[in-house]
Structure 1
Amino acid sequence: MKTEFLKALGLEQETINKIMEENGKDVNAEKEKTRKAEGERDNYKTQLDTVNTKLEEFEGVDVKDLQGQITKLQGDLKAKEDECAAKEAERVFTDSVKTAIKAAGGRNEKAVIAMLDMESLKGSKNQSEDIKKALEDVKKSDGYLFGADEPINNQVGSLGGGSGTDADSMVSLRAAMGLPEKN
């Protein structure tokens, strides 16, 4: 709206100034809305350019090939996990057999293990009982692989009651070690 238009209508200058002031407020408010909308537009344009640039990086990438590679890698990972679990189960089984052999008094673990049917023991539902039973069977058939249950009859020290007193034996013992007779 122009001042000349309002003068042509026969309005006084003071009225025209008030109308122009009010019109200026409306115009400024609309200019602010326009500036804000242009700022948002520029922001969206920048974002669009960024996204387009990133999309160009993926140009020529075969998605099906990537999915195939992911599936293959997941399969490889599962196979490795299964392999590790099998090795751990084998280690636990072997350790339990070795522990049982020691508890049974086995002299040579390798020799005793060679006498056992390890595959059937692995597949057993109650491994600890079956291992004990198999060790008892080996002990019956090949007892030389196990230590004797009876106490050792070869005494190494003095039984007492020999000639001389305890004090004399201590003095001679200290002298043999090169120590003085008394503490």
Structure 2
Amino acid sequence: MKAEFLKGLGLEQDVVDKIMAENGKDVAAEQAKTTKAEGERDNYKDQLATATESLEKFKDVDPAAMQSEIENLNKQLKDKDEEYAAKEADRIFSDTVKEAIKSAGGRNEKAVMAMLDMEALKASKNQSEDIKKALETVKESDAYLFGSDEPFMNAVGATGGSADVGGDNLSAIRAAMGLPTNK
């Protein structure tokens, strides 16, 4: 609305100014709404451009191939978990056998383990009992792999007699060596 239009209607200048001020408020409010809507529109345009650009990166991607790759990676992960579990089970079994060998008095763990049927023991349902039985069998057939329970018959210390051979120890040592005593 223009001020000349209102003056042409025969309104006084004071009334025209008031009408124009009120109209200006309405126009300013509408301009603010328009500016806000244009800002939102520009924001949506930027988001659309960014999304379109991101989608362009995936333009040549085959979803079926990607799904196949995901399934392949999941299978590899499962295989690694199973491999780790098998290695851990082997380690625990090996430690159990070594401990049993040690408690049975085995001198060399590797040598005794070579005499055992490890696969049969590993597949056994009652491993601890079967390991003990297998160790007893090896102990009977190859006793040299195990420590002896018999006491040593070799004397290490003095076997009797007196330690003092008369006088000082130096003369006793000289006499044992066949040398004349030193006076």
State the TM-score bracket (shorter-chain normalisation).
0.7 to 0.9
CA distance in 1, matches of 2:73, 2:48: 34
CA distance in 2, matches of 1:81, 1:160: 68
Alignment TM-score, normalising by the size of structure 2: 0.81
1:68 to 2:45 alignment: no
CA distance in 2, matches of 1:160, 1:36: 116
CA distance in 1, matches of 2:110, 2:54: 63
Deviates more, 1:52-61 or 1:151-160: 151-160
Unaligned runs of 5+ in 1: 173-183
Aligned-pair identity in percent equals 65
The amino acid across from 1:31 in the alignment is Q
Alignment partner, residue 105 of structure 1: 105
CA distance in 1, matches of 2:39, 2:125: 74
Question: Map of 1:6-85 to 2, 5 A cutoff?
Answer: 6-85=6-85
Runs of 4+ that moved beyond 3 A? none
CA distance in 2, matches of 1:159, 1:38: 114
The amino acid across from 1:114 in the alignment is A
Count of residue pairs brought into register by the alignment = 168
Following superposition, the deviation at residue 142 of structure 1 comes to 2.9
Secondary structure, counterpart of 2:111 in structure 1:
helix
Secondary structure, counterpart of 1:106 in structure 2:
coil
Unaligned runs of 5+ in 2: 173-183
Alignment TM-score, normalising by the size of structure 1: 0.81
**Alignment RMSD (CA, Å):** 2.1
Following superposition, the deviation at residue 73 of structure 1 comes to 1.7
The amino acid across from 1:85 in the alignment is A
The amino acid across from 1:9 in the alignment is L
CA distance in 2, matches of 1:163, 1:7: 148
